[in-house]
Structure 1
Amino acid sequence: MVAKQLTVVQVVPEMDEGGVEGETLDFAIYLAREGHRSVVISGGGRLVRQLEQNGVNHVYWKDIGTKSARCLKYISRLRAFLIDQRVDVLHLRSRLPAWIGYFAWRGMNRSTRPALVTSFHGFYSVNAYSTIMTRGERVIAVSDTIREHILSNYQLDPQRIELIYGGYDPAVFDPDSVSAQRVAVLKKSWGIERQTGPVIMLPGRITSWKGQDVFVEALAKIKELPFCALCVGDTDENQSFTKRLRDSIESHGLEDKVRLVGHCDDMPAALLVSDLVVSASSSQPEAFGKVAIEAMAMGRPVIATRHGGSLETVRENETGWFVEPADADDLATCLRRVLTAQEMLAETGARGQHWVQNHFTARCMCERTIDCYRRLLEEKRKRRTGEILSVVQMLPELDSGGVERGTLEIGRYLAGRQHRSFVISGGGRLVEQLEAEGSRHVDWQVGAKSPLTLKYVLPLRRLLKNEQIDILHLRSRMPAWVGYIAWKSLPKKYRPTLVTTFHGFYSVNRYSAIMTKGEGIIAISKSIERHIREAYGVRHGIKLIFRGVDKEIFDSAAIDPSRVEQLRTAWNIDSSRPLIILPGRLTRLKGQDVFIRALAQMRNTGYQALLIGDIKDNPKFTEELIALIGEYQLADRLSLAGYCDDMPAALMLADIVVSASSNEPEAFGRTTIEAMAMGKAVVATAHGGSLETVTPGHTGWLVRPGDAADLARALDEALQAAERRAAFGRAGRELVNRTFTMKKMCEETEALYRELVDAKRRVHADRTEVQEAEFN
């Protein structure tokens, strides 16, 4: 299949000298040569002729880079141009033109507007003006240093950033293709045709940023050596700084050694004039440092300042050397060392040439950029047709707990299927895992029960609209209020599909009723489904989706014995005694107090027991539990293990797993099915979701809620029946594999998302058809 030829528009302030302009030129010509329609919009400059000679369409808009009201006229003009020319990609490479381009693009029809790409070519000052460069649907960073700058200073999804190094044109920067005559012409025009000592060159705009002043100061410290130094760059562009340089050269008595030669149209030949090239950027690091790679391409060694993109392009003591920024003494020392050992120059230059030929060619840069375009366009097509969904899940935090882990699992599943997964929460220990698995985390404190939490309504509204979210999935009450208000305030055409999940038997009141507002309402158990129908009178839109176990994690065959032994040692488990564990948050809801009273009433005392849960989460209740253990003299049999981040290994240690929820039934009882998945017998309270997961006499024991004596009876019975425990474990594992897997939960959730989104698309299509019929 032949790839579609694209129409690409790049926008820059001007096409004169500089790294941005050079990269724009290289890529524009590459596009034209590859048969694409290549357009550059700029305020003109020296490079326009070269663009047009190579088949690029240059559009001259005088004020496109002018910081005045005059540039605003281009917003509507650019929008009309993009529509008329059916542009596929709009690539913005500088801040002011980027604002113009963004406003033009944003005003277009979402379904037909081009892909928007921005390039970070520098360390822009961090302010509202510079944020425009993060608005691209893809943001190209020209070095890893720039990528880190973006991530450190802007709230941007890392997945939207593409690292694409700049590159040089090997056909242009090739020592073998530069004639001796071209070199001789430059030497004569610069008055150095009789120069016998080494030539040191600093190419770049004449500006304090490029460090020509530091360069001159360093040269003054080694002026007794035989050398000639050339500063290549337009001397008319920054006349005040040029005058300062001339004054400095004169004051140091360097008139015969240092020359400001002005702009050069033949940089390949210029670099061959030199023996050593210096990149002395000082006040600000180079974002990439094209001068360095062009010099190495011509076989010239480089001295560069130790910061920014130079750290990625120059290899110290192999292709060049580093000096500290703005340090004339360090630069002078380095110059003296290499100039007095000139045999190093040719060897270092040869290694540099080989290095850049393999890593930094313009063709590589161009191919990676066009690949970025195609992937973005394909993603946009899939999002437009519904093949890719954009999903936001909201919950109070991402710490431990069933709601959090379910959110994590859906996020991982979505990202693994190339959907776009966002999670909004107040953070927690699971954030790192979430992001590593491909979801974007937005750190907003949406779980605080305070009117101040409503401050997130407007940011959420913007996120839903700008990211074109398909599904807003609300998983807890306070975040649900924030999400619902943001959703309701959007025009209907911008609203995502609203989904809520009932994770518990919430108190029945207006506050909890927010969980019934979803266009789709997920009930995680039949008990919860009945609760929604009976307590809120909801008859339609409820979908039963059982929560599930990740069988890749909760699989006894996949557990390395060393993990189990590590926990056995840490918790001081006696292998000769059966182990009973109760995992879960330390809260009265989970019934740890009932469990302790049950242990105290048991006839069998030859066991060991553990409460597994974060002891810092609920300090007051933890103190109460410790007091109960002391009161019933259970310290030799029962311990508080604290938080555990390896529950599969912990379950492998157990002989019996208890779910003792008492005051309120478990909505589902994830701990129970995880234990069953690991082949463990379970004892659970006979209410809520446990009635759907535990079958008495088949997979475990059920006991009356809050009844310590009944729990003690079941535990005594379980301890006396090892073979029965094993049989219950096997039956439980079979039930989980059949009904309660994470894979099934995720597939059913995705199916619900698609069903709701497709229904909304059909309604929208029907309305559009009716409107068109009425218009005609």
Structure 2
Amino acid sequence: MTLPADFTLLQVVPELDTGGAEQTTLDVAQAVVRAGGKALVATRGGRMASRLLADGGRLAEMPVQSKNPLVMLGNAARLVDLIRSEKVSLVHARSRAPAFSALWAAQATKTPFVATYHGVYHARSGLKRWYNAVMTRGDLVIANSNFTRDHVLGEHAVPPERMVSIPRGVDLARFNPSAVGCDRVEALRRAWDLPEDTSLTTFILAARLTRIKGHGPVIEAAAGLKAEGRTDFRLVLVGDDQGRTDYRKSLEAQIAAAGLEGMVRLVGHCDDMPAAYLLGDAAILPSVVPESFGRTAVEPQVMGRPVLASELGGMIETVIPGETGWLIKPGDAEAWTAGLRRAIEAGPARLAAMGQAAALRARRLYSVDAMCAATLEAYERVLESRA
């Protein structure tokens, strides 16, 4: 796609640490640079900032993660200065708190404003609904799945023509089984102290350590399998606690109490998820609240691994039961015991066949190139309507 001459995009996101919204920010920034534009990101910073710079983007560090009204006003002033000095063409907000500052700055400078609804924000009061609605007050609202779009249309008075659904994309060059050497897989195996054992069905759960990701019910499900006398599986929980040390300790205690130390492993943050998925036979995503899209249900499928996911939110769109994985009742340990058992008993050949079906579908529907192209088309639509 050809962007307008001197196109400059400013994305505003709380942090560039980890997560789907953060990865999408980097993907779109890279696409803008490749198309000949400039890509700025206003953020507090984070471990992914170096990737933004390596891709040709630029960082504007400011405390946009803050919900303090005075700090938000200060951020708005900083963004006004940035928009004017860099001649920003369009502002794209990706989270609610920074969206207020970004919207105020865009309105002050008469700059087009777009927001992406990356999550399903529930409101139990009029005040919270007003707070959430900041994401709908611009020229266009982008939803990261049909599930999210339907939620926004039902929650806010947004004309359907001001909404577009653009599923998150997966980098098919990075998540490419043939591009991952055996040395990378073996390096992870050694780092995580996972003995090579083809008699075990290995499940990979990639998610930050927080209760909404459903680690507890899955550990309980593993205890249920052990109680049946099964020892032919292991669970690898990939993700850091991001300061939730009490939650991590509670999981460690749950694992120890069930005698699952050798069967359920907490391995921390991983920078090489393509290799991590190849260490497993299947991936699991047991979230107990709806994922608006659920990138970690798609990435393993691209790598040729079937997925067991909670029957919630965007996963209903990305996992086809019996074909590319299984959908399981969220938070139900017995249902997860049955689901894990079903996958184990399917055997390596069946899991591999499902993984290939998953890869074909996911690569067709959820590529990062398709997501970026659709996003740039949305930008063009907004600029044309303003013109």
Query: Take 2:173 and 2:75, find their aligned partners in 1: how far apart are those partners?
Result: 36
CA contact (8 A) 2:106 2:112 kept: no
Alpha-carbon distance, 1:125 to partner: 2.5
Q: In the alignment, does 2:208 pair up with 1:205?
A: yes
Task: Determine the structure 1 residue equivalent to 2:225.
Answer: 222
Q: Equivalences for 1:706-745 in 2 at 5 Å?
A: none
CA contact (8 A) 2:324 2:358 kept: yes
Query: Take 1:319 and 1:180, find their aligned partners in 2: how far apart are those partners?
Result: 25
Task: Determine the structure 1 residue equivalent to 2:122.
Answer: 125
Alpha-carbon distance, 1:248 to partner: 0.8
Q: Equivalences for 1:543-562 in 2 at 5 Å?
A: none
Query: Take 1:225 and 1:259, find their aligned partners in 2: how far apart are those partners?
Result: 14
Secondary structure at 1:35 match in 2:
coil
Task: Determine the structure 2 residue equivalent to 1:248.
Answer: 254
Deviations 1:170-194 (A, max 9, x none): 0100000001000000000000033
What amino acid sits opposite 2:114 in the alignment?
V
What amino acid sits opposite 1:225 in the alignment?
T
Deviations 1:540-566 (A, max 9, x none): xxxxxxxxxxxxxxxxxxxxxxxxxxx
Alpha-carbon distance, 1:21 to partner: 0.7
Match of residue 323, structure 1, among 321, 324, 328: 328
Match of residue 233, structure 1, among 229, 236, 239: 239
Match of residue 290, structure 2, among 281, 285, 289: 285
Secondary structure at 1:231 match in 2:
strand
Alpha-carbon distance, 1:81 to partner: 1.0
Q: Taking every aligned residue pair, what percent have the same amino acid on both sides?
A: 37
What amino acid sits opposite 1:206 in the alignment?
L
TM-score (norm 1): 0.48
Structure 2: where are the runs of 5+ without partners? none
Secondary structure at 2:346 match in 1:
coil
Alpha-carbon distance, 1:2 to partner: 5.8
Query: Take 1:236 and 1:159, find their aligned partners in 2: how far apart are those partners?
Result: 38
Task: Determine the structure 2 residue equivalent to 1:53.
Answer: 54
- Rate the CA distance shift 1:337–1:11 in 2: closer, same or farther, 3 A: same
Query: Take 1:236 and 1:65, find their aligned partners in 2: how far apart are those partners?
Result: 15
Task: Determine the structure 2 residue equivalent to 1:366.
Answer: 372
Task: Determine the structure 2 residue equivalent to 1:352.
Answer: 358
CA contact (8 A) 1:231 1:259 kept: yes
Deviations 1:175-228 (A, max 9, x none): 000010000000000000333312111101111111111111111111223112
Query: Take 2:38 and 2:119, find their aligned partners in 1: how far apart are those partners?
Result: 27
CA contact (8 A) 2:117 2:148 kept: yes
- Rate the CA distance shift 1:117–1:236 in 2: closer, same or farther, 3 A: closer
What amino acid sits opposite 2:213 in the alignment?
K
Alpha-carbon distance, 1:34 to partner: 2.0
Secondary structure at 2:205 match in 1:
strand
What amino acid sits opposite 1:242 in the alignment?
R
Task: Determine the structure 1 residue equivalent to 2:189.
Answer: 187
Query: Take 2:35 and 2:274, find their aligned partners in 1: how far apart are those partners?
Result: 25
Deviations 1:86-126 (A, max 9, x none): 11110000011101111112222xxxx22110000001122
Query: Take 1:269 and 1:34, find their aligned partners in 2: how far apart are those partners?
Result: 30
Task: Determine the structure 2 residue equivalent to 1:157.
Answer: 159
CA contact (8 A) 1:235 1:260 kept: no
Q: Equivalences for 1:569-584 in 2 at 5 Å?
A: none
Task: Determine the structure 1 residue equivalent to 2:24.
Answer: 23
Query: Take 2:42 and 2:28, find their aligned partners in 1: how far apart are those partners?
Result: 14
What amino acid sits opposite 1:168 in the alignment?
V
Deviations 1:279-298 (A, max 9, x none): 1111x111001001101000
Alpha-carbon distance, 1:25 to partner: 1.3
What amino acid sits opposite 1:138 in the alignment?
L
Secondary structure at 1:50 match in 2:
helix
Secondary structure at 2:225 match in 1:
coil
Query: Take 1:270 and 1:2, find their aligned partners in 2: how far apart are those partners?
Result: 36
- Rate the CA distance shift 1:159–1:318 in 2: closer, same or farther, 3 A: same
What amino acid sits opposite 2:224 in the alignment?
K
Q: Which has the higher contact order (CA 8 A, sep 6+)?
A: 2
State the structure with more CA Rg: 1
Task: Determine the structure 2 residue equivalent to 1:4.
Answer: 4
- Rate the CA distance shift 1:249–1:3 in 2: closer, same or farther, 3 A: closer
Query: Take 1:115 and 1:79, find their aligned partners in 2: how far apart are those partners?
Result: 13
Alpha-carbon distance, 1:236 to partner: 4.2
- Rate the CA distance shift 1:2–1:236 in 2: closer, same or farther, 3 A: closer
Task: Determine the structure 1 residue equivalent to 2:305.
Answer: 300
Query: Take 1:162 and 1:192, find their aligned partners in 2: how far apart are those partners?
Result: 44
| 68-77 or 243-252, which deviates more | 68-77
Deviations 1:723-745 (A, max 9, x none): xxxxxxxxxxxxxxxxxxxxxxx
Alpha-carbon distance, 1:366 to partner: 0.2
Runs of 4+ with deviation above 6 angstroms: none
Alpha-carbon distance, 1:67 to partner: 2.1
Query: Take 1:340 and 1:67, find their aligned partners in 2: how far apart are those partners?
Result: 49
Secondary structure at 1:341 match in 2:
helix
Secondary structure at 1:222 match in 2:
helix
Deviations 1:648-675 (A, max 9, x none): xxxxxxxxxxxxxxxxxxxxxxxxxxxx
Structure 1: where are the runs of 5+ without partners? 382-776
Count how many residue pairs are aligned between Structure 1 and Structure 2.
375
Alpha-carbon distance, 1:70 to partner: 2.8
CA contact (8 A) 1:206 1:237 kept: no
Query: Take 1:136 and 1:146, find their aligned partners in 2: how far apart are those partners?
Result: 17
State the superposition RMSD in angstroms: 1.3
Query: Take 1:140 and 1:220, find their aligned partners in 2: how far apart are those partners?
Result: 41
- Rate the CA distance shift 1:2–1:261 in 2: closer, same or farther, 3 A: closer
Task: Determine the structure 2 residue equivalent to 1:101.
Answer: 102
Query: Take 1:236 and 1:41, find their aligned partners in 2: how far apart are those partners?
Result: 21
Task: Determine the structure 2 residue equivalent to 1:749.
Answer: none
Secondary structure at 1:288 match in 2:
coil
Task: Determine the structure 2 residue equivalent to 1:509.
Answer: none
TM-score (norm 2): 0.94
Task: Determine the structure 1 residue equivalent to 2:111.
Answer: 114
Task: Determine the structure 2 residue equivalent to 1:386.
Answer: none
Q: Equivalences for 1:26-37 in 2 at 5 Å?
A: 26-37=27-38
Query: Take 1:158 and 1:202, find their aligned partners in 2: how far apart are those partners?
Result: 36
